[in-house]
Amino acid sequence: MSRAFAAGAVLLAALMASPAAALTLRDMLGRDVTLPASPERIVSLVPSVTEIVFSLGASERLVGRTDFCDYPAAVKATPSVGGMVNPSLETLVSLRPDLVVATDEGNREETVRQLERLRIPTYLVHANRIAETVDLITRVGELTGRQAEAPRLAAEMLRRIDAVRRAVARFPRPRVLYVLWPDPLIVPGRASMLTELIDVAGGASITAADGDAYPRFSLEAAVARAPEVIILADHSTGASTAGRPSPEKWQQLASVPAIRAGRLHSADLSLLHRYGPRVPEGLEMLARIIHPEAFR
């Protein structure tokens, strides 16, 4: 009887341990994501998250990425599931992920619903502020078992951001127009992290109060606000096929202060629209464009 009781007790303990061993996380949109254990096989549909995974030294957990996850160079050895908007679910399923990390900005809601129907746990991220980027680094550290490395990475990022803020603090703030897309004209609005970065870099975005994240804007409205610095996003890096910006249209606007002063610039899109470890690098690039005098 004692052996039978012992066997039953072991079975009962195992059954009781299973739910307790489950890991429930709350993603950045407030959704509960339940996993049987810490994920060992992660597919990232978010270039920022992919960069964070590598920066934390957790690349062995990354089994899939998108075509746009192109940094660092070592990530190209990781299988791709296709684009952010239209990933191949067949390829994704074949990678047997424990977890897929997606974003509400760049990935389709339909993709998330399809993953849920396939019973693949999906963790959604969202970062439109520097503080949210720090939070994202902390969360990826937890997802990958690199909790100890995340504070170091975040602290170094914040140190470099603060150094830029101090470097430009004593200079006047020129009016800045950042052009994400030329036709139709798409610009950063009040909900865009780029607006915050322009502010930290010592500029005043002329579209800071408009729309949500990336509203459409008219060329006439941009000219009327007399930008003193114009920055055109360069889409030619990475998986983008849009190419380099064409400055010719802007150079014809001789009445605009930025054009008269020769302050028409281009900037690497991948540095300014990925909210991960390279945010300071993009910020430093912005600050040197807006305030070259601060870095001589």
Task: Domain ranges for the chain, please list them.
Answer: 19-148, 171-295
**pTM of the predicted protein model:** 0.87
- Quote the CATH superfamily of domain 19-148: Nitrogenase molybdenum iron protein domain (3.40.50.1980)
pLDDT in tens, the chain (296 residues): 444 433 333 333 333 444 446 789 999 999 999 999 999 999 999 999 999 999 999 999 999 999 999 999 999 999 999 999 999 999 999 999 999 999 998 899 999 999 999 999 999 999 999 999 999 999 999 999 999 999 999 999 999 999 999 999 999 999 999 999 888 999 999 999 999 999 999 999 999 998 788 899 999 999 999 999 999 998 776 555 455 667 778 888 999 999 999 999 999 888 888 999 999 999 999 999 999 999 97
Q: Please, which residues have CB within 8 angstroms of residue 118's CB and are 6 or more apart in sequence?
A: 89, 93
Q: Please, which residues have CB within 8 angstroms of residue 214's CB and are 6 or more apart in sequence?
A: 180, 186, 187, 188, 189, 192
Q: Which of 208, 179, 184, 186 is nearest to 195 (CA)?
A: 208
CATH class of 171-295: alpha beta
Three-state secondary structure string covering 144-205: CCCCCCHHHHHHHHHHHHHHHHHHHCCCCCCEEEEECECCCCECCCCCCHHHHHHHHCCCEE
19-148 and 171-295 have identical folds = yes
